[in-house]
Amino acid sequence: MSLPHPDSLCHRCRALRHVESGRGGQFLMCTATDEKYPQQPVTACPEFVDAQKVWPAPERNRDSILAVLVRVLPPVGVALEVASGSGQHAVHFARSLPDLEWLPSDVDPDGRASVRAWTAVERISNVRLPIALDVTDPDAWPDHADAIFCANMVHIAPWACCLGLLDGAARLLSPGQPLVTYGPYRFSGRFTAESNARFDLSLKERDPSWGVRDVDDIAREAKTRGLVLEETIEMPANNHTLVWRRI
């Protein structure tokens, strides 16, 4: 489903929580005003709060990640983005890969609101409405994807989320289709830079279940699910992109 009423201010507002389909079209449901389904398109609203997040990291890393995606993603189909965050990656990648349908997702409703805002502002037609996705819930996953991309989630989440990502990829992907992950990693127990070791400590101070993951641990779990590590690509700022394939 694409954005209904793409010119509406509602898509950039944190109060938009639902898009419902009914007889005669699609309706935007507002949680901030007494008018449950405001007349569209809304061009001004006293309750408007801009949902569009702007994070520096996606602006820095988007082109280096894109250089990998254009090589390894299928030319057509549905690309599921897990933990889309602000939505900056979604619009940049979808714009550069116009024959792919980009399906963003996030467990956080504010993240999904930001994705909708970026999609509306940038007027990207091949970005679908973001879905609520808790990777540890098998019932939350969509029914289909031809590729999966996930950036900067597995270290800022419990280990169960990494396993949930692998489980979901194993269920959705067909043989030969890719799962692409991006972020800081350890290799055979070693950090690639002292800054990553300090980052790991700071993560664990925030939540003991978080931390920079070891690729060996991920690969071992992936193998039991029919996923193999095909390529490891060094990226700027001591990050790596990992390309996994369903076998």
What is the domain range of residue 212? 56-246
Examine the domain organization and report whether 1 and 112 are in the same domain. no
Q: Secondary structure of 67-119 in the HEC alphabet?
A: HHHHHHCCCCEEEEEECCCCCHHHHHHHHHCCCEEEECEECCHHHHHHHHHHH
Residue 47 pLDDT exceeds 80? no
pLDDT, tens digit, for every residue of 33-42? Answer: 777 788 888 8
Residues 149 and 226 in one domain: yes
* CATH number for position 198: 3.40.50.150
- CA atoms of 80 and 95, how far apart (whole Å): 15
My answer on whether 82 and 103 are in the same domain is: yes
User: Which amino acid, 221?
Assistant: E
**For range 27-47, the mean pLDDT:** 78
Whether residues 230 and 115 fall in one domain: yes
9 and 76 share one domain: no
In eight-state DSSP terms, residue 139 is G
Between 42 and 230, the more confident residue is 230
3-state secondary structure of 30: strand
In whole angstroms, give the CA distance from residue 169 to residue 228.
Answer: 12
Indicate if the pLDDT at residue 2 is higher than 80.
Answer: no
CA nearest neighbour of 53 among 3, 6, 112: 112
Look up the pTM and report it. 0.87
- Looking at the structure of the chain, the number of domains it has is 2
88-96 vs 109-122: helix crossing angle, rounded to 10: 40
pLDDT in tens, 137-186: 999 999 999 999 999 999 999 999 999 999 999 999 999 999 999 999 99
Is 214 strand, coil or helix? strand
Q: Are residues 117 and 43 in the same domain?
A: no
Task: Provide the edge-to-edge strand list for the sheet that holds 227-235.
Answer: 100-103, 77-82, 147-151, 178-183, 239-246, 227-235
Q: What are the counts of helices (DSSP H) followed by strands (DSSP E) for the chain?
A: 6, 12
Q: Tens digit of pLDDT for each residue in 51-82?
A: 788 889 999 999 999 999 999 999 999 999 99
Note the pLDDT tens digit of each residue in 189-203.
Answer: 999 999 999 999 999
Same structural domain for residues 132 and 98? yes
Query: Do 163 and 116 fall into the same domain?
Result: yes
Asked if residue 173 and residue 93 are part of one domain, the reply reads: yes
Q: Answer yes or no: do 75 and 149 share one domain.
A: yes
Q: Are residues 7 and 116 in the same domain?
A: no
Structure tokens at 144: 């289909």
Instruction: Provide the token pair at 104.
Output: 């963003």
Residues 43 and 123 in one domain: no
Beta strands at 131-132 and 190-191: parallel, antiparallel or unpaired: unpaired
